Amino acid sequence: MSRWVRFFFMIAIGFGIGLLYGWVIDPVDYIDTVPDTLRADYKTDYVLMVAEIYQQDNDIGKAAERLSFLGDEDPQTTVSNAIQLASQVGYPPPDLELLGNLYDALQAISDSGELE
Nearest to 96 by CA among 35, 30, 52: 52
* pLDDT tens digit sequence for 36-80: 788 899 999 999 999 999 999 999 999 999 999 888 778 999 999
Environment class of 105 (CB within 10 Å of its CB; exposed 0-12, middle 13-18, buried 19+): buried
d(CA 22, CA 59): 44
* pLDDT score recorded for residue 114: 62
- pLDDT, the chain, mean: 90
95 and 46 share one domain:
yes
39 and 92 share one domain:
yes
54 and 68 share one domain:
yes
4 and 61 share one domain:
no
Range of the domain at 9: 1-31
Please answer whether residues 48 and 82 qualify as being in contact, where contact means their C-beta atoms are separated by less than 8 angstroms. yes
* pLDDT tens digit sequence for 69-108: 888 778 999 999 999 999 999 999 999 999 999 999 999 8
Radius of gyration of the chain (CA): 22
User: What's the whole-model pTM score?
Assistant: 0.71
